[in-house]
Amino acid sequence: MFSSITPQNKRVLAFTVAYMVIFSVLAALRQNVEFLYYMVLMVGLIIFVIAYHRDLKMSTAVLIALSFVGLLHLMGGHLYVDGTRLYDVYLIGNIIRYDNFVHAVGIFVITLVLYSALVPHVDRSVRGSGWVLSVVLVLMAMGVGAIIEIVEFGAVLFLDADEAVGGYRNNSTDLLFNLAGSLVGLVGIQWHRRRIRAGAADDQELESEAIPPRPVPPDRIRFAGGIMEERPVTQEDSRTEGPAVSRILPEPPPRELGR
């Protein structure tokens, strides 16, 4: 599993493990059971990302962003500003708290992850329709946001974290900022797609664009996994071309993306 990790991604993993260890010690010393619970879930998520990051087309930039979101989350639960937990600190007036900011940034990154994982597997007509792809990504990102709220509800039910997690108003506000983060993610994705289309068509970042099959010449017929080709055959005795005969040729190997 670890052999497939590139040197760059190993550095991202080392950074993530380092801050996880530091905040785990802090949570244990302060008997912060809620965040020990979150730590266990984060370890499971890290293992999942290590195992499937290549299948999900996660670039190093996306992995760095995921690690950054994890750091923001742990900072919010362990750091204090003037005696107030960072998660409860208001960043803009009495409207936007640090908690709202983390939700927006987190779902922004999740939208990018979903785009990387989903696009290579959807029909070309969906990829070509910006609004259809956008609706699908937003719905999926909001689904991930709902799972996060369920995780927080688990802390309320089993760890008596009502005061730390917040009530219905907090839950609804989180969902609104999840939506905002997803919409900002869509803006970034559309900008990315326009930039790639304006550049070289064979850029490796266009992995979502499927290469059409090679056209079959009219004198070739696909047959039983191969190609039946009709061509004149030279007569060895008279060195004249005889009638066209058919023979099975092996199927040419598929071209790789970008070639």
Structure tokens at 221: 């017929």
pTM over 0.85: no
User: Can you tell me the distance from the alpha carbon of 201 to that of 87, in angstroms, rounded to the nearest whole number?
Assistant: 44
Write the DSSP string, 83-138: TEEGGG-EEETTTEEHHHHHHHHHHHHHHHHHHHHHGGGS-HHHHH-HHHHHHHHH
- Inter-residue contact 106 to 69 (CB < 8 Å): yes
Q: Where are the alpha helices (DSSP H) in 5-32?
A: 7-29
Q: What is the pLDDT along the chain (259 residues), one digit of tens a residue?
A: 666 788 999 999 999 999 999 999 999 999 989 889 999 999 999 999 999 888 888 899 999 999 999 999 999 999 999 999 999 999 988 889 999 999 999 999 999 999 988 888 777 766 666 788 889 999 999 999 999 989 988 888 877 776 667 677 888 889 999 999 999 999 998 888 888 777 645 545 445 554 455 555 555 544 444 545 445 545 554 454 445 444 444 555 544 444 4
Q: Tokens in use for 163?
A: 């005061």
Distances (CA, A) of 73 to 23, 85, 94, 103: 11, 12, 20, 9
Cα 37 to Cα 164: distance, rounded to the nearest angstrom: 13
Reduced to 3 states (helix: H, G, I; strand: E, B; else coil), residue 81 is: strand
Q: What is the number of other CB atoms lying within 10 angstroms of the CB of residue 107?
A: 29
Distance CA 69, CA 144 (A): 14
Task: Determine contact, residues 103/177, Cβ cutoff 8 Å.
Answer: yes
Q: Which residues contact 55 (CB under 8 A, 6 or more apart)?
A: 117
What lies within 8 Å, CB to CB, of 96 at 6+ separation is 90
CB of 102 within 8 A of CB of 76?
A: yes
